[in-house]
Amino acid sequence: MNAGRPHPGRFITFEGGEGAGKSTQIRLLSEALEKAGHAVLQTREPGGSPGAEEIRSLLVTGDGDRWTGMTEVLLHFAARADHLERVVRPALSEGKWVLCDRFVDSSMAYQGVAQALGRHLIRDLTNLVVTTTMPDLTLILDLPVTDGLARAGARDDGEDRYEKMGQAFHETLRQAFLDIATDEPQRCKVIDATTDINAVHHAIWAATAKRFDL
């Protein structure tokens, strides 16, 4: 929680490996929050603003070795800087609930750990770009890597660059997200994503309601 942040909105991020079902669960939580009378903005990273969406196309398509790890993380944070300035912070200042598909924890897991750039680099970039605009709640959707990659492989959106990075990469990624949750239990909640869509949604709603006294 960021009690000192000067805005009335709420910032919830969704994290997890490929095929975890984040997009579906963001939509369902958004619908539930709107029924409860809240204004909601759904967004995503990389992307979320016109400039950041252009950078997204560079990151999620092409061969797995298209970029070095350092180039890749700088592209992610460049997109994030634009997204925060043009979309996230204005929405929060208006009192909206911002639901974001991925945020800085993905940079930590993907580039900091799985691509071995190191946690300190990601923390330094986070301090520079994100400053105090950290999530009030992070929901980490967890499921076995083989299940997630099978789900992701069924999509036909052309955004498969990370899926090509191999089983070992994704196993490391999964553990990185679980370690983040262990390190920051007040902010992060791990959600079992192996159950059906409605069960996952109920678990997410329960975590959200508890965190924000809904």
Query: How big is the CA angle at 63 (ends 82 and 99), to the nearest 5 degrees?
Result: 35
Residue type, 36: A
Flag whether 73 is in a domain: yes
Which pair of tokens denotes residue 46?
């990389």
Flag whether 33 is in a domain: yes
- Tell me the C-alpha to C-alpha distance, in Å, between residue 30 and each of 23, 43, 49, 98: 11, 11, 19, 9
Flag whether 161 is in a domain: yes
Measured CA to CA, the distance from residue 214 to residue 210 in angstroms comes to 7
Flag whether 39 is in a domain: yes
CA nearest to 191, candidates 151, 138, 140, 147 = 140
pLDDT (0 to 100) of residue 62: 78
pLDDT (0 to 100) of residue 150: 76
Check if the beta carbon of residue 135 is closer than 8 Å to that of residue 187. yes
Q: Is 191 helix (H, G, I), strand (E, B) or coil?
A: strand
CA nearest to 138, candidates 102, 174, 113 = 102
CATH number of the domain that residue 181 is part of = 3.40.50.300
pLDDT (0 to 100) of residue 87: 98
Secondary structure (DSSP) of 71-134: HHHHHHHHHHHHHIIIIIHHHHHTTPEEEEE--HHHIIIIIIIIT---HHHHHHHHHHHTTT--
The residue whose two tokens read 């993380």 is: 73
Total tally of structural domains belonging to the chain: 1
Flag whether 5 is in a domain: no
pLDDT (0 to 100) of residue 3: 40
| DSSP secondary structure letter of residue 190 | E
- Tell me the C-alpha to C-alpha distance, in Å, between residue 66 and each of 58, 70, 110: 9, 12, 15
Domain that holds residue 146: 11-212
Write out residues in the chain with pLDDT < 70, as ranges.
1-7, 152-165
pLDDT (0 to 100) of residue 51: 97
Which pair of tokens denotes residue 61?
């398509």
Flag whether 61 is in a domain: yes
Check if the beta carbon of residue 58 is closer than 8 Å to that of residue 192. no
Flag whether 2 is in a domain: no
Q: What's the pTM value of the predicted model, to 2 decimals?
A: 0.90
Flag whether 28 is in a domain: yes
